[in-house]
Amino acid sequence: MITSSDPIDVVIAEDSPIQALVLQRHLVKEGYTVRIGRDGAEALQQIRERRPTILISDIEMPEMNGYELCSAVKSDAELRSLPVMLLSSLSDPEDIIRGLEAGADNYVTKPYETGYLLSRMQSLLETPIEADEPQAESLQVTLAGKTFTVNSGRQQSLNLLVSTFENAVEKNRELLQTNEQLTVAQNQLEVRNRELNSLNTKLNDHNTRMTRDLEAGARVQQALLPSELPQPSGFRFAWQYRPCDELAGDFLNVFELDDDYIGFYVVDVSGHGVAASLLAVTVSRVLTPSPFLSSLIATTDERTGRVIITPPADVLADLNRRFPMEESADQYFTMAYGVLNTSTGEVRYASAGQPPILLMRHSADIELLKVRAFAIGWVADVDYAEHTLKLNPGDRLAIYSDGIPEAMSPEMEQLGDDRMLKAFRDSRDQELEQSVLSVVADVEAWCGKRGPLDDVSLLALEAMHSPE
């Protein structure tokens, strides 16, 4: 906690809204004041408007990356003494040299413990760089055939190298611990072997039961997917679903709300496995319409018997209240939910952190309908925006999980929006069911033999002829 009477002002440069929000929460909890820049350029503007006490910057950002932001700060005589901490994976020695070249004061490796980050911040604040400290002489450093020019002063270099050394010491400590455990295991090999044989037998039994349970759970989850799609006059639905594990965090559904309205959604729970699957199934049950009881998505007027359909934005807001992240094992989920009026072709929809909705007009190119909103569970009392569009004959609408644009090739390159849009364009002349199947097949081909690393869900809607 801060002991000074004046709060320490922190500027965070981070293009990921979720990571920025998590870090902001931790710092505010410790008594810091926090401002966030969505990239290096925005963070630099905030710094120049009001000088902070310390700058924490991610490295990979659009517009201006962390190295460029650090260089801009350190090349400004009025800002040179501002402590700069870079967040990096330190996956390559070149990262350290580039940090020195940019004038960084400290590295913190990702992922990081909050306590460690706070201790490094405190250390930087206790050993400030004096504003009038003379600029160090340029030093040429060659690494892997590349030459870097380092101008960092002694205190900056010391701070940066100490943080790197601490990381190396921690890894070395873990290695020594492992070696000690290995020595003990080798000295007691005969006893361990007997115990291991017994444990292996039990483990095989547990694995057999667990595999059987996972397969049963997967069958239950598959059974909850739509087996028979609604067949409204003038409209057609199609979907494809590819879990990356036995139990998935994705879920989708299409259902009739009354004679004129059909609801549809795609849900994507963070993570995979049992916890993500349980939350996905729980959400799907909450969203299941009932002809006899009122539900979250529709209620029945007891006096008239008329179905009252809940607006999509209100559905998301209600889910956000019901599933706060802190009470859902720190899990959250994104979601797109829409309601189709089969009489008019009007679609009302809302989105919570989902990828953009894809709109394919019959006589125009594909459009991505972007909606900015927090995922379900992240922030309490979010007002979600509701949007409306009209489907004309030949128009198609698609909602999908991020497992499609973020699908990774064997070379770890994302499919991306451009390739995804090409897959939709290439298949737009096919029947809707075949088009959806073709898009998912293109995703699987992009991923190669290993297959997608994330669940893949795709739900599409087409207007077949003019509504009456």
Written as six digits, the tokens of 25 are 């929460």
Distance CA 128, CA 159 (A): 10
Query: Locate tokens 């179905």: which residue?
Result: 307
Give pLDDT, residue 45. Answer: 95
CB-based burial label for 6 (10 Å; 0-12, 13-18, 19+): exposed
Give the ranges where 237-393 is alpha helix by DSSP (H).
273-286, 312-322
d(CA 42, CA 62): 10
Dihedral in degrees, nearest 10, Cα atoms 44, 48, 54, 60:
0
Interatomic CA distance for residues 233 and 400, integer angstroms: 24
For 9-173, give the CATH class.
Answer: alpha beta
Q: What is the Cα 255 distance to its own chain's centre?
A: 28
When the pLDDT of each residue in the chain is averaged and rounded to a whole number, the result is 82
Q: pTM, whole model, 2 decimals?
A: 0.54
Beta-carbon contacts of residue 126 (< 8 Å; ≥ 6 apart): none
- By CB atoms closer than 10 A (0-12, 13-18, 19+), residue 52 is buried
Question: Edge-to-edge strand order for the sheet containing 84-88?
Answer: 33-37, 9-13, 54-58, 84-88, 106-109
C-alpha 68/C-alpha 74 separation (Å) is 10
Token pair 């943080």 in the structure block, residue: 163
Write the CA distances from 49 to 2, 46, 79, 395, integer angstroms. 24, 5, 12, 48
Confidence (pLDDT) at 447: 93
Q: What is the CATH class of 226-463?
A: alpha beta
User: pLDDT tens digit string along 105-146?
Assistant: 888 877 778 888 888 888 888 876 665 555 555 555 555 566
Q: Are 246 and 216 in contact (CB under 8 A)?
A: no
Per-residue exposure over 147-166, b if at least 16 CB sit within 10 Å of its own CB, e if not: eeebbbbebbbebbeebbeb
Place of tokens 């667990």: 210
Per the listing, tokens 């501002």 go with 82
**What is the rounded distance in angstroms from the CA atom of residue 82 to the CA atom of residue 8?**
13
Q: How confident is the chain (468 residues) per 10-residue block, as mean pLDDT?
A: 69 91 92 94 94 93 91 91 83 70 81 82 78 54 57 57 60 69 74 73 62 52 72 92 78 90 91 75 78 71 83 93 77 92 95 93 90 88 92 95 92 93 94 95 93 90 72
Radius of gyration of the chain (CA): 27
**What CA–CA distance (Å, rounded) separates 335 from 348?**
14
Could you tell me which residues come within 8 angstroms of residue 354 by beta carbon, excluding any fewer than 6 positions away? 266, 268, 334, 335, 336, 371, 399, 401, 402
Question: 408 by DSSP, 3-state: which?
Answer: strand
